Amino acid sequence: MNNIFGYQPGKSIIHQLSGGTKLLLFLLLTISGMLSFDVRYLILLMIIAVVGLKVAGIRWRNVSTIVKFVAVFAVMNLLLIYLFAPQYGVKLFHSQTILFGSGRYALTLEQLFYEFIVLAKYFFSLPLALIFLLTTNPSEFAAGLNKIGLSYRISYAVALTLRYIPSVQQEFVMISHAQQARGFDMSSNVPLRQRIKGAFGIMMPLVFSSLSKIDEVSRSMDLRRFGKEKKRSWYYEQKFKKQDWWFLLGIVVLVVIEMLLIKVTGSRFWYPFS
């Protein structure tokens, strides 16, 4: 099982950005994309996110598992949207173009266009999240958070969370192997129902193991009197470099583009077929 959430060292320009810069990039791009229903802007963000994956040197085999999982979730979400709100696109764009069918579940061009927008939001937000998680050293990220004004206690808690995600994944694999050694087959040779049941059987040992490790870390931090002082120094503290400012300027440009599109269109929604 690949380490899909752990930090992967690299020498790309994205790896060289400070943790605070990458956090701002991730948050601002994600928020602006989620607020927009303009497919032109979403396609632009998709292109930027895919190019970012390429520049960061993130390989398909390292992210294939999470991409496939999110793809299944996205398809289920689209089907549920159509099941419970089959005419939401019609209400959203104030137009109705029936492709086939009749009644409540008549398939309309507007509904297809709306669901494509929802899918586009997955296609840009997932690569951004992967870039952020896989190129950000937890210690550098914590120092960056503290640098932009966040309490070092909260910053350190975030760093511990990022460090602990790969540990949970490794623990899951170890427990899974132990279960299989006892005769609980969880491979593709058994029915899906049995695999799901086996996965739930892993969760309880995983939860108790995680709680035990959290208690150990908490005790160790208490013994070292963590949190006594108002400030602390950082071994991985980073200063904003020229490249950080260039990337932040690029984000400002993207936000301005979104605002201009909203002003020209008159709303956050753009429908080219009306």
> Residue 253's pLDDT is what?
93
What pTM was estimated for this model as a whole?
Answer: 0.74
Q: Which of 34, 61, 37, 33 has its CA nearest to residue 48?
A: 33
Sign for the CA dihedral angle at 128, 131, 133, 136 comes to: negative
Which stretch of 40-44, 178-182, 240-244 has the lowest confidence by average pLDDT?
A: 178-182
Calpha distance 174→161 (Å, rounded): 20
pLDDT per position as a tens digit, 223-267? 666 767 677 766 666 677 888 899 999 999 999 999 999 999 888
> Residue 161's pLDDT is what?
75
Amino acid at 102: S
Calpha distance 232→25 (Å, rounded): 25
> Residue 43's pLDDT is what?
93
Average confidence (pLDDT) over 210-226: 73
> Residue 224's pLDDT is what?
67
**pLDDT higher than threshold 90 for residue 116:** yes
* Cα 214–Cα 215–Cα 221 angle in degrees, nearest 5: 90
> Residue 162's pLDDT is what?
72
Average confidence (pLDDT) over 168-180: 74
> Residue 190's pLDDT is what?
66
SS3 37: strand
> What's the whole-number average pLDDT of the chain?
81
pLDDT per position as a tens digit, 3-37? 555 677 888 898 888 877 888 888 899 999 998 89
Tokens linked to 273: 């077929």
**pLDDT higher than threshold 70 for residue 2:** no
Tokens linked to 207: 């939860």
Average confidence (pLDDT) over 79-97: 88
User: How many residues belong to the chain?
Assistant: 274
> Residue 79's pLDDT is what?
93
> Residue 185's pLDDT is what?
64
Q: Which of 259, 214, 272, 252 has its CA nearest to residue 95?
A: 272
Give the H/E segment covering residue 28: helix 19-35
pLDDT per position as a tens digit, 43-85? 999 999 999 989 988 888 778 878 888 888 889 999 999 999 8
Where do the domains of the chain lie?
15-137+241-274, 150-235
